[in-house]
Amino acid sequence: MNIITNDKSIYAMSAANAPVLTVLAGSRVIFETKDCFGGQITCETDAFDGLDWGRINPATGPLYVEGAEIGDILSVTIEKIEIADKGVVACGQDMGTLGHLFDQNHIKILSIVEDKVIFSDDISFPINKMVGVIGTAPAVSEGEISCGTPCLHGGNLDCKKITEGATLLLPVNVSGALLAMGDLHAAMGDGEIGVSGLEVAGRVTVTVDVIKGKKLQTPMIFDDTHIMTIASHEDLDMAVDIATESMVKYLMEEKGMTLADATMLISLAGNVCICQVVDPKKTIRVEVKNCYGKNKKAT
Ligand code: CA
Ligand code: ZN
């Protein structure tokens, strides 16, 4: 079994990172991951000031996938996400949407019992396991991109649809793609408004594959029911435009729809959803049901 242990971590995605494992396309790989704090928070009274910010958002990897060349697409199917039985959530001054209302920071360490988050004595809710940071190396000309920032290569997308059973498509910008991931969440709502999910260590089992001869406008996700495009931008309106245009292009190129039909379909039956609004760039996804167009089976 191919395993990358969580001591093999990077803090920026870059063509300059040396691969820690090389596999053939079609391989299954396990990525062991630290939580987004690098395991530095172990009790609720830990001071944020004491954190080593250079050790935030570690991503395990990178993985070199044989045959992945510039211009290809890397397909990453999330087979399984295993998480620790405790997670950390934080909020506070200058963090997230409500940072201006706080004059100090707050940390909760929450237990996960029988697939539920125990938030308090009287509040519990089901987990929604997801991968927060996942990406390939950006092109050499782009230098390095911090694992805390989402962009076209992936990165800190904080999209709750990147979960078990989903397939994520990412661009290949350098030979081997150099896939890395981390920042697992046991739970996170759309928006992640307080700046943190329920941050957990764990491990992710993925199958990686290479798609030749197709162009990706933005990262995409396919799951049992939906096709999704994801875009990140400092400005939420711009992110909506980019994700929507990416979906229109997909429907035109892969489903044979006209621009007008694709636009009308998204307007009537697609959803523009927020992934997160708290990272250096905000992330939007556009979701369309995976039952339209030329691939539809006769019913
Ligand atoms: Ca994150
Ligand atoms: Zn996180």
Tens digits of residue pLDDT in 24-57: 999 999 999 999 999 999 999 887 778 888 899 9
Q: So what's the pLDDT on residue 295? A: 59
Centre of ligand 1 from the C-alpha of residue 12, in Å = 13
Q: Are strands 116-118 and 124-126 parallel, antiparallel or unpaired?
A: antiparallel
Going by pLDDT thresholds of 50, 70 and 90, the confidence category of residue 171 is very high
Centre of ligand 2 from the C-alpha of residue 147, in Å = 11
In this structure, which ligand is nearest to the CA of 187?
2
Centre of ligand 2 from the C-alpha of residue 59, in Å = 11
**Tens digits of residue pLDDT in 66-83:** 999 999 999 999 999 999
Q: Are strands 177-185 and 28-33 parallel, antiparallel or unpaired?
A: unpaired
Centre of ligand 1 from the C-alpha of residue 65, in Å = 24
Centre of ligand 2 from the C-alpha of residue 260, in Å = 38
In this structure, which ligand is nearest to the CA of 197?
2
**Which pTM value belongs to this model?**
0.96
The first and second tokens of residue 272, run together, are 């523009």
- Written as one letter, the residue type at 165 is G
Centre of ligand 1 from the C-alpha of residue 268, in Å = 31
In this structure, which ligand is nearest to the CA of 90?
2
Kindly state the average pLDDT of the residues 265-288.
Answer: 97
* Spatial distance between the Cα atoms of 9 and 229, rounded to a whole number of angstroms: 27
Q: So what's the pLDDT on residue 298? A: 45
Question: For the residues of 216-285, what is the DSSP string, one character each?
Answer: -SS-EEE-SSEEEEEEEESSHHHHHHHHHHHHHHHHHHHH---HHHHHHHHHHH-EEEEEESSSSSEEEE
In this structure, which ligand is nearest to the CA of 202?
2
**Tens digits of residue pLDDT in 109-151:** 999 999 999 999 999 999 999 999 999 999 999 999 999 999 9
Centre of ligand 1 from the C-alpha of residue 294, in Å = 36
Kindly state the average pLDDT of the residues 191-207.
Answer: 98
